[in-house]
Amino acid sequence: MKRRLQNLLPLPISAYLGGFFSVSLLLFIIIGGWMLLQMNKVTNAAEASRSHSARTEVRAAIDKVLTSSQEMLAELSQWSETRQQLRDNTYYEYWRNTRVLQTSRIPHYVTDVDIYDQQGAILLTRSGSSMPDKLPDLLHFIDIQQGTTYLYRFMPIVRPGDGQRNIGYLGLRMNFDQALQELNHFIYTDSNSLGIVSPEGARFPPDEIQHQLSYLPRQSGETRKLESVMRSTLYSFAALAVVLIIISYYLTSSLLHTPLRRLAQYIEELRRNRGDISKTELSGGTLCVKEFDMLRSSIIDYQHELEEMHNHLDQKNREMWRLAHHDALTGVANRRAYDEDWERLQELVRGQRIQVSVMLIDCDHFKAINDTYGHDVGDQVIRVIADSLRQNLREGDHLYRLGGDEFAVHLINTDTEQCRTLAQRYQERLSHFDFKALGIKEPVRFSIGIATAEGSQPKQVAQLHKRADIAMYQAKRPGNNKIAVYNDGMAGNAESLLSNRFITTVYRAIEQGDNIELHYQPVLAADDAQSGFYETLVRLRDERGTITPHNIFPVVESEGLAVEFDYAVFRRITKAFEQGEIPQGTCISLNVDGSTLMHHNFIQQVSRLAPFIQSGCRCIVLEITENALISEIEEGSRKLRHLREAGFAIALDDFGSGYSSLRYLANMPVDIIKLDIGMVRDLEGDPSQRIITEYIAHMVRGAGYQLVAEGIENDSLLYRVLALGFTHVQGFLFDHSLPAIDPQNRLTVAEYPRNSGKSLNRALGS
């Protein structure tokens, strides 16, 4: 019921008003009816009271007539002149007619009087007399004659002082109706209604007279007046109520309902006109109720404010949309715009034989530039890239900054070759920019990945970004020309990047560490003057086999797990020490990511390895990339110094691959420099590059650092580095990564067995 009622709501005000007035009318009818009922009750009660009073009054009146007749007859019978007639009735007629009937001795409604002797015979017989000649048996009776009620009464005449001797009788006839009227003043009885119901000639005792009389109660003037006043009041009240209801309805309708309806129509029209006040008019002219007019004005004012607010919000929305869809630094569309546009583009080309391409561009080693030269320089580089790409966009191409130094371009109706040409143009224009003007001394290079698909192949279209990313990753690889177009051969590598399998395994390694396998690659001392050591290389193991670093670290990097992963490796090496996996007296090195170095808990975590450092021998080497160290050189140096003091040896890994400045090197608390494999290879390449490498080797060695040459894969290169004074060598010429350390092997070039069968093309593990 309540729910049905709620379903009816809201109701229009006319329904409430109608209900209100209906209820009012109903209440009035009920009250009026009740009042009428009460009035009738009062009237009936008054009627009953009047009837009772009339009955009592009539009875009293009858008694009065009877008593009066009794007294009258008694007085007349005791009258001496009456007795005189019994002695001598010579002048009886005179006595009866003159002395009795024609005097005021008896009232005029006594129509006849006669005296009877002791034997009951009338003293004087008269023809046509209404009195009986003989004394009747019933001395007291009512007789109906010619529609008139007569009372006959007879009484003995007693001689006083003579033993109350009955000397005769006296009788009279009285007009009962007249006597009743004249002897009584009726208050409660309508005297005009008094009448006898008995038939003509009826005769009965006087005590039955009341039953033979008909009469009506007198309508009390006060009661009638009161009833009249009450009825008049009720009718006036009814009329007044009806008038009030009509007036109220009119006033409510004109002052409340109509203005509200007009306001509601106005608001509805305003809504239809989308809040345009200029197009909306209030029907029916001005509202006559001030409050409603104020409400209308308020609505208009409010609508004005709303409109202004709406415009402001529109503007803000546009701005927000622009901010949300554009990169604040470069002004080009951002990642959100990219995603939305990409969704629309997919829909647009779905099922169409339209070539769709995604081109991803990023700056190689941008992080190093950012870290080395500061964010301001990094931002300028980003702006340069954006400006350059924007200026070289074709009509209809869209440029997006996806984040950091990564840019993307959507290309339509552009085949692979055209994409490649465009990419080359981008690269060429970017290379023309003088980055040295920004203070960047190193060359700035850009990698571009391209993926193309036809709209009729929606699945492939959906994979375009991923594929372009893979291609860009490929483009970054050494030896590539920095522009790569995706092909299916890249899919394997790509799969490894984002494989859930790898992610799961990495997380398991961090959480449990039981799937971390340590492999060891020997770093051999050039001569006996130095100690060789093993570089620990990480492999992960799952049900499907072993996962190599080039599948592990992209996950670690993409998931931001570098610190946690390094700490897991620390724990695993500690375990290897504890379990003798790393034989006592064996020196090892382990790689530390730059973010791990900067982590606040780094010292504590790495110190768990300190107990395995043998006194007098820095046999645990921490390999830090130069970029990691340079980015936070002061903090990093402070921590490394602390670790050196604790007995650790510090190696600067991949030296020469990044942008580390040689001037920082002197301040770096490092013991070993591991020259980048590219520079080592340069020893066999371009003479100028070889010379630079040689000079660097000399300089490092001259500064007293131990110098490690990575990527030694053949004897020729071995000899060259040994000749240049490298203290350690490392490469497939000697061994791949080993699952276990053979304590029998001596870690010197001269004594470690060679592995000449290895391919030079295999990538290094770290």
SS3 451: strand
Q: Which stretch binds another protein (CB under 8 A): 94-102, 204-212, 371-379, 559-567?
A: 94-102
Candidate residues 75, 81, 578, 742; the one interacting with another protein per rule CB under 8 A: 81
Distance CA 376, CA 354 (A): 41
Q: Which is nearer to another protein, 98 or 716 (CB)?
A: 98
Query: Using the rule CB under 8 A, is 508 a contact of another protein?
Result: no
Q: Per CB under 8 A, which region of 160-168, 184-192, 510-518, 570-578 contacts another protein?
A: 160-168
Query: How many angstroms separate the CA atoms of 135 and 158, rounded?
Result: 16
Nearest Cα residue to 668 out of 691, 647, 643: 643
The Cα 66–Cα 180 span in angstroms is 9
From the list 44, 67, 98, 456, which residue makes contact with another protein (rule: CB under 8 A)?
98
Q: Is 118 in the site for another protein (CB under 8 A)?
A: no
Closer CB to another protein, 99 or 429, in the complex: 99
Asked whether position 99 contacts another protein by CB under 8 A, the answer is: yes
Shortest separation between residue 114's beta carbon and another protein, angstroms = 16
x-or-dash pattern for another protein, window 240-259, by CB under 8 A? --------------------
Q: How far is the CB of 135 from another protein (least distance, A)?
A: 22
User: Do β-strands 516-525 and 728-729 pair in parallel, antiparallel, or remain unpaired?
Assistant: antiparallel
Nearer to another protein, 80 or 759 (CB): 80
Beta carbon of residue 163, minimum distance to another protein (angstroms, whole number): 13
517 to 213, 237, 509, 584: CA distances (angstroms): 138, 106, 10, 19
Residue showing tokens 């490649």: 420
CB of 156 to another protein, least distance (A): 16
Asked if 91 interacts with another protein (CB under 8 A), we say yes
**What are the DSSP calls for 264-317, one per residue?**
HHHHHHHHHTTT-GGG---TTSS-SSHHHHHHHHHHHHHHHHHHHHHHHHHHHH
The residue from 83, 257, 476, 674 that contacts another protein (CB under 8 A) is: 83
Q: Shortest gap between Cβ of 161 and another protein (angstroms)?
A: 6
The DSSP line for 13-51 is HHHHHHHHHHHHHHHHHHHHHHHHHHHHHHHHHHHHHHH
Dist CA 382 CA 409 (whole Å): 15
Closer Cβ to another protein, 91 or 235, answer by number: 91
Among 12, 19, 33, 160, which residue sits at the site for another protein (rule: CB under 8 A)?
160
Per CB under 8 A, which region of 75-83, 263-271, 445-453, 558-566 contacts another protein? 75-83
Q: Is there binding between residue 87 and another protein (CB under 8 A)?
A: yes
The only residue of 55, 64, 126, 159 in contact with another protein, by rule CB under 8 A = 159
For another protein, give the closer residue by CB, 75 or 715: 75
> Which residue is associated with the tokens 């320089």?
377
Rounded Cα distance, 25 and 14, in Å:
16
Q: Which of 84, 212, 303, 607 touches another protein by CB under 8 A? A: 84
Write out the two tokens for 32: 């009026």
Instruction: Report if residue 71 touches another protein, rule: CB under 8 A.
Output: no
Segment interacting with another protein (CB under 8 A) among 87-95, 149-157, 518-526, 635-643: 87-95
Determine, following the binding rule CB under 8 A, whether residue 94 of this chain makes contact with another protein. yes
CB 549 within 8 A of CB 766: yes
Nearest to 280 by CA among 258, 256, 307, 254: 307
Query: How far apart are CB 101 and another protein at their closest, in Å?
Result: 13
Site membership for another protein, residue 571 (CB under 8 A) = no
Is 96 an interacting residue with respect to another protein (CB under 8 A)?
no
User: According to the binding rule CB under 8 A, does residue 97 interact with another protein?
Assistant: no
Choose the binding region for another protein from 3-11, 61-69, 155-163, 249-257 (rule: CB under 8 A): 155-163
Total site size for another protein, rule CB under 8 A: 17
Does position 80 bind another protein by CB under 8 A?
yes
Q: What is the chain's Cα-based Rg?
A: 68
The C-alpha atoms of residue 101 and residue 98 are separated, in whole angstroms, by 6
Tell me how far, at minimum, the Cβ of 167 lies from another protein, in Å: 9
Nearer to another protein, 83 or 482 (CB): 83
Segment interacting with another protein, rule: CB under 8 A, options 61-69, 158-166, 672-680, 721-729: 158-166
C-beta closer to another protein: residue 104 or 119:
104
State the Cα torsion 455-458-462-464 to the nearest 10°. Answer: -40
| Beta strand pairing call for 649-655 and 620-625 | parallel
SS3 content of the chain, % helix, strand, coil (to 5): 50, 20, 30
Token representation of residue 112? 């006849």
Residue nearer to another protein on the CB measure, 162 or 686 = 162
CA distance 275 to 277: 6
Closer to another protein by CB, 169 or 186: give it: 169
The greatest distance separating any two alpha carbons of the chain, rounded to the nearest whole angstrom, comes to: 206
Q: What are phi and psi of 551, to 5 degrees?
A: -100, -20
Cis peptide before 10 (omega within 30 of 0): yes
Nearest-approach distance from CB 118 to another protein, in angstroms: 15
Nearer to another protein, 117 or 397 (CB): 117
CB-nearer residue toward another protein: 103 or 286: 103
Residues 364-376 as b or e (16 or more Cβ within 10 Å = b): bbbbbbbbbbeee
The interface region with another protein, picked from 17-25, 82-90, 406-414, 695-703 by CB under 8 A, is 82-90
Is 445 one of the binding residues for another protein (CB under 8 A)?
Answer: no
Q: How far does CA 247 lie from the centroid of its chain?
A: 45
Q: Can residue 95 be called a binding residue for another protein (CB under 8 A)?
A: yes
Among 7, 90, 104, 146, binds another protein (CB under 8 A): 90
Distance, CA of 156 to CA of 118 (rounded, Å): 9
Alpha-carbon gap, residue 379 to 41, rounded angstroms: 103
Cβ atoms 570, 591 nearer than 8 A = no
Classify residue 100 by its DSSP letter. I
Residues 6+ positions from 289 with CB-CB distance below 8 Å: 255, 256, 259
Residues contributing to the site for another protein (CB under 8 A): 80-81, 83-84, 87-88, 90-91, 94-95, 98-99, 103, 159-162
